[in-house]
Amino acid sequence: MIVLGIETSCDETAAAIVAATRQGPRILSNQLRAQFAEHAPFGGVVPEIAARAHLDHLDTLIGRTLAEANVTLAEIDGVAATVGPGLIGGLIVGTMMAKGIAWGAGKPFIAVNHLEGHALTSRLTNGVDFPYLLLLVSGGHCQLLLCAGVGRYTCLGTTLDDSAGETFDKTAKLIGLGYPGGPAIERTANEGNAYRFVLPRPLKGRPGCDFSFSGLKTAVRRLIADGGGLDFGDTADLAASVQLAICDALIDRTANAVDWFRRHHPEGTTLVAAGGVAANEQLRRRLAALADGAGLRFVAPPPALCTDNAAMIAWVGIERLLLGLVNHLDAALHPRWPLNIGAPQRPGAEVTWSRE
């Protein structure tokens, strides 16, 4: 089975061809055009600029993907595209392109939840079996999820305000490190003393699996305002302190989820990290140690498959196509689209949730 995947939910224009073979999944081509240059002057993603860049480059990228995979549209078995959550302009560009290809080639269309792409990447790269515990940390999302099957997710905890990825980006901008913030902070932190600045770890030590990062951003802003300008040593130390604070908070909340997972799902063997922040080396090391201490295997996809990409979308297309889960060409877009639709929502949380 061969599926074309398209991803345009934010500021990466991406297309991929993934095949399911008897020997396991194969990524035949995985093309991506980042938009760092377009958005860097603004210190973050500008939705209209992102949508126009997708429109300018997506058709060329798809052609390059098909050529590298040596696959024609007649040979694919389906077309999968991110239809949410994400920036509406980008979603329109990618979804309409995918629907047009599916209609013209007479192939099934699979509407993919971007979060499910991250959630299932470990099955593409490492063949992880259900159920598993997932820490999903990206620019817009910060959740702990029980993954029990395709389309079967329980959110154990979510952010009550800001995501870890947004916190990396916003604090990097405050410090003067530019965009994207996560990689910039990680590089600069390698030269710094992570214990020089005392920063808060919101919710640390409390029961439950929810996250909060707004207090950390505020603390960094006040520290900079009170201290005046930063020299290189200050910048490196502050970057290292921010990275440590974010990782401490993520590990603390994940430890609570690991305890819940081991008690409620003793058959589960794996802790998975996915999303752009999961590419952070300090976080990966500490999650691996946490999993090992709990008798679990730790899996994180290669960094290139942690950030937004189309291979994960094509893989969800394969998983869903194998189950007969296809969509009509009038499938709607969902700028907000939680994985567990129908669960009650709490004030302050950006995604719906449920607890068992």
Cα–Cα nearest to 9, from 275, 328, 335 = 335
Record the pTM: 0.92
Distance from C-alpha of 213 to C-alpha of 159, rounded to nearest angstrom: 8
pLDDT at residue 178 greater than cutoff 60? yes
Sign of the CA dihedral with 124 first, then 81, 36, and 185 last: negative
Res 356: pLDDT: 25
The rounded percent of the chain whose pLDDT value lies above 90 is 85
31-40, 213-222, 285-294 — which is least confidently predicted?
31-40
pLDDT at residue 296 greater than cutoff 50? yes
- The packing angle between helices 181-189 and 232-264, to 10°, is 110
pLDDT confidence band for 346 (50 / 70 / 90): very low
Instruction: Please name the residues in contact with 168: beta carbons below 8 A apart, sequence gap of 6 or more.
Output: 181, 182, 185, 242, 246, 277
Please name each of the domains of the chain with its CATH number: 2-120+305-322 (3.30.420.40), 131-301 (3.30.420.40)
pLDDT digit string (tens) for 298-337?
999 999 999 999 999 999 999 999 999 999 999 999 998 8
Which whole number is the average pLDDT over 8-24? 95
